[in-house]
Chain A
Amino acid sequence: GAGVSQTPSNKVTEKGKYVELRCDPISGHTALYWYRQSLGQGPEFLIYFQGTGAADDSGLPNDRFFAVRPEGSVSTLKIQRTERGDSAVYLCASSPDRISYEQYFGPGTRLTVT
């Protein structure tokens, strides 16, 4: 079956602009996660959704970052007033439920802020 998909695969934007990154999880997966991977680093947790609600957004770096999952499936990560330090690969993962050990990752969106 289809895996986790993310769009766009690459996004180049100017400093100060607004961007949206989309994640389509595996069908039926109730848990969805966003991670950020900076160059030369491992992924770092941003936010976790169980169903439609953000159960834990403690990893979001500041209030310029926001994510939604209105129907419990597709999620959008939104970044306002982008800064050069936001440049990274943004990864989405999903799992069948909260206590599942395996998270299935998408290919990521590479965001470059110029």
Chain B
Amino acid sequence: GNSVTQMEGPVTLSEEAFLTINCTYTATGYPSLFWYVQYPGEGLQLLLKATKADDKGSNKGFEATYRKETTSFHLEKGSVQVSDSAVYFCALLSSNDYKLSFGAGTTVTVRA
């Protein structure tokens, strides 16, 4: 079956630090990959996505590249802000499927 493993948190950083959250997956076929973010008190929001190997998803300064050879989709941001404090979820969707499979989430706190 499908599964997603992401880096355990919590992660605490200072403003302007570099952030990386590791995500690896197991799936049949060629899944689409996603990063969702959950800000305090808000619902899940799609942060970025990639639908095929070597695609790079990017949004709000965050990037992730779909690496089929390493079955990974690591999230990175070069300079975090306090407003990036949130819980980040890696997720996958198998082709011709509709059930998102999520990782356990990584809590990120950015200090001023």
If over half of B's interface residues share one DSSP class (helix, strand or loop), that class is named, otherwise mixed; here it is: strand
By a beta-carbon cutoff of 8 Å, the part of chain A in contact with chain B is: 3-4, 31, 33, 35, 40-45, 48, 56, 59, 91, 93, 95, 98-99, 101-108
Segment among B14-22, B38-46, B59-67 that sits at the interface with chain A: B38-46
Cα-based distance from A105 to B37 in the complex (angstroms): 11
By a beta-carbon cutoff of 8 Å, the part of chain B in contact with chain A is: 4, 32, 36, 42-46, 49, 51, 89, 91, 93, 96, 98-105
**Contacts A42-B91, A101-B32, A101-B49; A91 near B100 (Cβ below 8 A):** no
> B109: shortest Cβ distance to chain A, in Å?
16
Residues of B close to A107: CB separation below 8 A? 42-43
Check B100–A41 contact: CB distance below 8 A: no
Among residues of A, the one whose C-beta sits closest to the C-beta of B41 is A107
Cα-based distance from A101 to B44 in the complex (angstroms): 15
Q: A42-B104, A43-B102, A48-B99 are in contact. List 5 more A-B contacts (CB 8 A).
A: A41-B105, A43-B89, A48-B98, A101-B93, A105-B44
Cα-based distance from A109 to B44 in the complex (angstroms): 13
Residues of B close to A33: CB separation below 8 A? 98-100
12 residue pairs bridging A and B, Cβ less than 8 Å apart: A31-B98, A41-B105, A43-B89, A43-B100, A45-B101, A91-B44, A93-B44, A101-B32, A102-B46, A102-B49, A106-B43, A108-B43
Question: Which residue of B42, B89, B100 is within 8 Å of A45 (Cβ)?
Answer: B100
Residues of A close to B102: CB separation below 8 A? 42-44
Check A98–B4 contact: CB distance below 8 A: no
Check A42–B103 contact: CB distance below 8 A: yes
Cα-based distance from A95 to B32 in the complex (angstroms): 16
> A105: shortest Cβ distance to chain B, in Å?
4
Cα-based distance from A21 to B28 in the complex (angstroms): 33
